């Protein structure tokens, strides 16, 4: 009987201790606020999101960070604006000005020189003056690369007083469709004295 009473007493004391520990745990827990905003709660192991201010200034790169590179502007390319600029047939000049020419029956003469800047021979296929008063003569043989050729031009109407502008169109095997235009110009003046005119 004494053993039975002792076991009953132990069980009773164990029950009391268990009840007290349960009450202690219940008091240690804090009640949750049902009205708390879900945005205020933090995710487990995470950091709260920071609100973005649309008026905030742009962030500058910190030391050690490289700023984003702006796209490089493509270099500009020069367009070929004339046939002569695009052709290996390169003239020293496209315009020759005689200036003032005294009235005479003798024609005046000049020379347009050119160079072959390409890799193939150049053959002049057509050299045409704008009128019969201008007579061109040109190199008939093929002009090899890095070599030079010429076009001689005579203006015959030196007995007519006044300014003049004449053109010569040049075509070759390198520019068969688009002619290179050469120009001569000047002014024929009457140098005779009034006494000479009376005679």
- Region 173-191 average pLDDT: 94
pLDDT of 167 > 60? The answer is yes
Q: What is the DSSP string of 132-182?
A: TTEEEEE--S-B-TT-EEEEEEEE--TTS-EEEEEEEEEEETTEEEEEEEE
pTM: 0.55
Residue 40 vs residue 104, higher pLDDT: 104
Query: What is residue 1's DSSP assignment?
Result: -
In the prediction, which pLDDT does 11 show? 72
- 73-100 residue pLDDT tens: 333 333 333 445 578 999 999 999 999 9
- 12-60 residue pLDDT tens: 677 766 666 555 555 555 545 555 454 444 544 455 555 555 555 555 5
**Bridge partners of 154?**
109, 135
pLDDT of 143 > 70? The answer is yes
Distance (Å, whole) CA 182 – CA 167: 6
Contact 91, 182 (CB under 8 A): yes
Residue 154 vs residue 54, higher pLDDT: 154
Domains in the chain: boundaries = 83-191
CATH dotted code for 83-191:
2.60.40.10
């Amino acid at each position: 009987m004494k053993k039975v009473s002792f076991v009953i007493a132990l069980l009773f004391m164990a029950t009391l201790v268990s009840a007290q520990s349960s009450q202690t745990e219940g008091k240690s827990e804090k009640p949750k606020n049902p009205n708390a905003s879900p945005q205020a709660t933090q995710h487990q192991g995470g950091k709260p999101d920071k609100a973005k201010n649309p008026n905030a200034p742009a962030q500058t790169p910190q030391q050690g960070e490289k700023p984003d590179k702006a796209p490089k502007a493509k270099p500009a390319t020069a367009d070929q604006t004339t046939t002569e600029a695009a052709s290996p047939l390169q003239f020293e000049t496209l315009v020759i000005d005689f200036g003032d020419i005294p009235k005479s029956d003798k024609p005046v003469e000049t020379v347009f020189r050119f160079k072959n800047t390409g890799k193939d021979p150049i053959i002049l296929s057509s050299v045409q003056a704008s009128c019969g008063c201008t007579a061109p003569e040109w190199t008939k043989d093929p002009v090899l690369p890095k070599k030079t050729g010429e076009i001689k031009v005579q203006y015959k109407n030196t007995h007519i007083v006044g300014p003049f502008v004449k053109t010569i169109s040049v075509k070759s095997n390198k520019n068969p469709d688009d002619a290179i235009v050469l120009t001569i110009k000047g002014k024929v003046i009457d140098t005779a004295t009034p006494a000479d005119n009376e005679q």
